[in-house]
């Protein structure tokens, strides 16, 4: 009896060990493959040229990623600026104020939103946000625009990462113990004072992690952005300019025109950059989450 239990214990442990190793190996393999293929261009061009040259002319052999990196940053930052405060307030409302009924309906609805394929968000962007930008927002600022802009992409992305951030944020707020809230109420604190000084404070590392998670998703998101960003390879200088983010560059061009020298290697280099950034953000958010778990003991 005892040995069977031990056997099962060991078996479970080894299966989990292999699965974990397999996942880690997969990540390393992808990174390695991308690196292998980008080596050609890394050997030909300096990193400074690749990252800071504002010119993308594959036919002339000019491969500056600057416009795409800036495009990605502009779109992602716009999305984050829109989504961070909104999702924060929504999560607080749902976790602290909403009656039980609303909370129980809202949570599955939000999770449903998270499952909608990004191409649908893209279509929604084209049908709603792009015309809105073209006909109302750009003219309001005295600008002429096709509507396919950093702004449109930012809005679509923000709406896309909303559900993930809200979902995780609600979990984090709920993990703050009820007794802690009571301790604050018992001193005569109002609900809002308690939220501001105790709940948010306790939950902060977790909320940051939730946002980083959303941020890294926004960074790598391809389909929806590609559909509304405009895809002009020039660094944007305002949110009403078009942008060409890295993922869109790869998706639009990979597999075509591969006869151009170094083109293929340049695209894979772009993929490598994206890969590293997303990986970096994921790991960062893991660390933040571990910290909040430890501090909420």
Partner 1 sequence: MESTSHITVQNLNVYYGDNHALKDITINIPDKQITAIIGPSGCGKTTLLRAFNRLIDTVDGVRITGKVLVDGEDIFDPRADVTMVRKKMGLLSQRPYPLPMSIFDNVAYGPKIHGIRKKKVLEEIVEHHLKMASLWEEVRDRLHEPASRLSIGQQQRLCLARGLAVEPEFILADEPTSALDPKSSLYIENRFRELRSQFSIILVTHILRQARRLADYIVFLYLGELIEHGPVNEIFENPREERTREYIRGVIS
Binding site for partner 1 (CB under 8 A): 100, 177, 179-190, 193, 197-198, 201-202, 295, 297
Q: Which is nearer to partner 1, 5 or 179 (CB)?
A: 179
Q: Which is nearer to partner 1, 39 or 201 (CB)?
A: 201
Instruction: Supply the minimum distance, in Å, between the C-beta of residue 211 and partner 1.
Output: 19
Q: Which is nearer to partner 1, 180 or 251 (CB)?
A: 180
Instruction: Supply the minimum distance, in Å, between the C-beta of residue 198 and partner 1.
Output: 6
Q: Which is nearer to partner 1, 143 or 191 (CB)?
A: 191
Instruction: Supply the minimum distance, in Å, between the C-beta of residue 174 and partner 1.
Output: 14
Instruction: Supply the minimum distance, in Å, between the C-beta of residue 47 and partner 1.
Output: 43
Q: Which is nearer to partner 1, 55 or 177 (CB)?
A: 177
243 phi/psi in degrees, rounded to 5: -140, 165
Q: Which is nearer to partner 1, 37 or 103 (CB)?
A: 103
User: Which residues lie closer than 8 Å to 109 by C-beta, 6 or more apart?
Assistant: none
Least Cα distance to 248 among 273, 229, 268, 222 occurs for 222
- Contact (Cβ atoms closer than 8 angstroms) between residue 124 and residue 152: no
Instruction: Supply the minimum distance, in Å, between the C-beta of residue 185 and partner 1.
Output: 6
- Contact (Cβ atoms closer than 8 angstroms) between residue 170 and residue 95: yes
Least Cα distance to 279 among 26, 27, 15 occurs for 27
Q: DSSP secondary structure string, 124-159?
A: HIIIIIHHHIIIIIHHHTT----S-SHHHHHHHHHH
Instruction: Supply the minimum distance, in Å, between the C-beta of residue 289 and partner 1.
Output: 17
Can you say how many angstroms the Cα of residue 105 is from the centroid of all Cα atoms in its chain?
25
- Contact (Cβ atoms closer than 8 angstroms) between residue 129 and residue 82: no
């Amino acid at each position: 009896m005892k040995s069977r239990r031990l056997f099962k214990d060991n078996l479970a442990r080894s299966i989990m060990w292999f699965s974990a190793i397999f996942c880690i190996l997969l990540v390393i393999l992808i990174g390695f493959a991308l690196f292998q293929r980008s080596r050609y261009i890394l050997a030909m061009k300096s990193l400074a040229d690749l990252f800071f040259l504002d010119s993308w002319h594959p036919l002339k052999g000019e491969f500056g990623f600057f416009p795409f990196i800036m495009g990605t940053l502009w779109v992602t930052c716009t999305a984050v600026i829109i989504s961070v405060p909104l999702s924060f307030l929504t999560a607080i409302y749902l976790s602290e104020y909403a009656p039980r009924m609303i909370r129980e309906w809202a949570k599955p609805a939000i999770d449903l939103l998270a499952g909608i394929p990004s191409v649908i968000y893209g279509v929604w962007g084209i049908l709603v946000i792009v015309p809105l930008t073209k006909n109302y927002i750009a003219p309001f600022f005295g600008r002429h625009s096709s509507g396919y802009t950093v702004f449109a992409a930012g809005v679509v992305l923000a709406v896309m990462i909303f559900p993930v951030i809200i979902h995780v944020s609600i979990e984090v707020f709920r993990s703050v113990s009820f007794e802690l809230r009571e301790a604050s109420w018992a001193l005569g604190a109002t609900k809002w004072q308690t939220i501001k000084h105790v709940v948010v404070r306790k939950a902060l590392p977790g909320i940051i992690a939730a946002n980083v998670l959303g941020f890294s998703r926004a960074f790598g998101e391809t389909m929806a952005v590609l559909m509304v960003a405009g895809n002009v390879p020039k660094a944007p200088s305002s949110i009403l300019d078009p942008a060409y983010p890295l993922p869109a560059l790869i998706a639009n061009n990979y597999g075509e025109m591969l006869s151009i020298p170094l083109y293929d290697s340049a695209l894979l280099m772009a993929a490598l950059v994206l890969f590293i950034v997303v990986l970096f953000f994921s790991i960062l958010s893991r660390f933040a989450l571990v910290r909040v778990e430890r501090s909420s003991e």
